[in-house]
Amino acid sequence: MAAPKRIFSIWIPRYLSSLETKNYSKNTIEAYCRVLKLFARYKTYLAEHNGDSPKHTRILADCGMSADIDANAYEISDFFTLIRNERHLGPASLHQYNSSLSSFYRHLITQNIVDANPMNRIERPKIKDRELKYLRHTEVMNLITSLENPRDALVIRTIYATGMRVSELSDLYAEHIDFEEQTIRVRGKGGKIRIVFCDPDTLSMIRNHLGGRLQGPVFLGNHCHAISPRTIQHIFNRYAPPGITPHKIRHSYASELYRRSHSLRVVQENLGHNSIQTTEVYIHTDLDERKKAYQNHFPLASGKE
């Protein structure tokens, strides 16, 4: 049996199909698809022009995806430079390009098509705002109590109480909640199911909000359908302080839980992260706690030279 051709036009569809079987979201698959097709055309252009880089990506529209999937760090770095300069992308946006290519080559390794991931030699873009702005517990509660619309207030409170993502909250159904055990069954990224905990007061508010309904979406949007992620975003745009998004409230949840539990593993599992390195981004040691530890234990600060 002949070995499959090692070209992008064959392996990109196969890779995207594998993401569908893993229940990746439609938006994620489409974003990965755009990045991979652009890189494939970039590689084809290099092959057709003796390795000379294009001056802009508009030229790539006429290129196919017949290039060999092998790539080196030099080619990828030049591709990132082209994209960054032309589209004025910041590190956060470039991170998606990085993730798309890295995931693609990891898939090729599992298929025994390539031996190594060229992205391992690419330094990930440093995101200055990686230490994300977030609200402390009292600030979150003040935000929630300031809202006059009960549903909108409960939307924000539920994100903070459970650490759920916007997409997870949109997919939250009444039958996913165990009011006795005070747990909620959440379908996360890739269709993975996890159990999160919820405080009695928030659950009581959810029960009242449901008004006796035992099934169906907890939060309703237009035409009695589940509330859309866009509507949830709109709630934050309308009420929250500048820069505070649902993701930042999830960050507040993680920071507060870690500050009190000191268990990174618990935070990781509650957030639904595959990697503990991802969770570390959300963690802050409270400034007052750090100051107290410094004053009590550091020799110079405590006068114990």
- The dihedral built from the CA positions of residue 296, 298, 299 and 300, taken in this order, carries a sign that is negative
Stretch 220-224: mean pLDDT: 82
Pairing of strands 193-197, 177-178: unpaired
Stretch 226-235: mean pLDDT: 92
Question: Does the pLDDT value for residue 305 go beyond 60?
Answer: no
Question: Does the pLDDT value for residue 150 go beyond 60?
Answer: yes
pLDDT in tens, 28-74: 888 899 999 999 999 999 999 988 888 888 999 889 999 999 999 88
pLDDT at residue number 130: 44
pLDDT in tens, 233-251: 999 988 888 888 898 899 8
pLDDT at residue number 251: 87
Binned at pLDDT 50, 70 and 90, residue 226 comes out as very high
Percentage of residues of the chain with pLDDT beyond 70? 86
Main-chain dihedrals φ then ψ at residue 283, nearest 5 degrees: -90, 130
Q: How far is CA 292 from CA 26, 285, 298, in A?
A: 47, 11, 10
pLDDT at residue number 284: 58
Helix (H) or strand (E) holding 163: none
Amino acid at 193: I
Domains of the chain: 8-130 (1.10.150.130), 137-288 (1.10.443.10)
Cα–Cα distance between 48 and 42 in angstroms, integer? 10
pLDDT at residue number 256: 86
Task: Please state the length of the chain.
Answer: 305
Amino acid at 28: T
Percentage of residues of the chain with pLDDT beyond 90? 46
Binned at pLDDT 50, 70 and 90, residue 2 comes out as very low
* Dihedral class, residue 211 (left if φ above 0, else alpha if ψ from -120 to 50, else beta): left
pLDDT at residue number 271: 87
pLDDT at residue number 168: 94
Binned at pLDDT 50, 70 and 90, residue 16 comes out as very high
Binned at pLDDT 50, 70 and 90, residue 299 comes out as low
The answer to whether the beta carbons of residues 249 and 159 sit under 8 Å apart is: yes
pLDDT at residue number 262: 76
pLDDT at residue number 129: 46
Main-chain dihedrals φ then ψ at residue 186, nearest 5 degrees: -115, 135
Rg from Cα positions in the chain = 23
Stretch 271-293: mean pLDDT: 68
> In a 10 Å sphere around its CB, with 0-12 CB exposed, 13-18 middle and 19+ buried, how is residue 45 labelled?
buried
Structure tokens at 54: 């294009």
Stretch 162-181: mean pLDDT: 94
Stretch 212-227: mean pLDDT: 90
